[in-house]
Structure 1
């Protein structure tokens, strides 16, 4: 049986969900961002117990199909931007369609309805958040960051960065306020 879980955005999230399910007596076969496969069938009472336990940690059990699709899009983009080392060699719409086995027009319509933003805006927001992380560490030049995030140029990255954050990348580095968001806040 598959469970779809909202707000799973990192490897620690996967560890927490797996541990909590095991504490409740379930045996997860696989735990991926936003999705868990469990060998046994789960009753409505068990689902309620799981939902209550996961809510403590900021996760949400998803029952609605449209919400599940939107969450799958989000977790696929998060995985692509934050955890995949290889640059995307095909366009995002084709990548999402292939990964989620749905037409991009359907994915786009559902995502926009549920999230009140386009997939493209969400993708850009994730890339900018990753750029903010890399800038904060100070280990890479802006050119290296642009290359790693698959931007065509530093100017393109800088332009999108300013549009999203209101700051230039160098202005961001010197800003002292709380700069970054958690992935589930984007």
Structure 2
């Protein structure tokens, strides 16, 4: 069971929500920014109490329709990055409007209320996750990855990657070599 919560955008917010769940005797769920994922279903009474308590803290539980929309937004972003790499960033808003059936401003407003970042920032973070995968598991150069993901050049990709991760793609790629060395050592033992 997943519940999306508006305005739960910081570590302190997550701790407050976790404290309220402990008071209700809920088995510790996975708490992410803007979302709580429960290991087991909440009773109707627990859910009502939870909503009442977090409302007092300034949070708001999203209704089922908007919760499903958030799931669809995330899935659509993943599709854009993994399935449609040929699509340019300028085409993303139109793709999301067509796929989701909502105005782009509605999509971005809901997303930022729940996740505490705007949709373009989220897209960049997801692209960086894809870049990490490509660096670790595919034999591609930074320039090639930049072309696939529509960056102007390798320097722009490196700038964005370092801004998000604190590491350069070159250093991150060195991690791949270290992982392989450790794996080979473990196989020999």
TM-score range, shorter chain: 0.5 to 0.7
SS at match of 1:91: helix
**1:131 partnered with 2:131:** yes
**1:70 partnered with 2:70:** yes
Residue by residue over 1:132-170, the C-alpha shift from the partner in whole angstroms, topping out at 9 and shown as x without a partner, is 101002411111111111112111111110011000100
Bigger helix fraction: 2
Residue number in structure 2 paired with 1:12: none
Greater C-alpha Rg: 2
What is the aligned-residue RMSD (CA, Å)? 2.7
**How far apart are the structure 2 equivalents of 1:109 and 1:63?**
15
Unaligned runs of 5+ in 1: 7-50, 53-61, 179-186
SS at match of 1:167: coil
TM-score scaled by length of structure 2: 0.57
Unaligned runs of 5+ in 2: 4-39, 42-61, 180-189
Asked whether the equivalents of residues 96 and 104 of structure 1 are also in contact (C-alpha less than 8 Å), the reply is yes
TM-score scaled by length of structure 1: 0.58
Residue number in structure 2 paired with 1:141: 141
Matches within 5 A, 1:4-153: 64-88=64-88, 90-153=90-153
TM-superposed CA distance for 1:96, in Å, is: 1.1
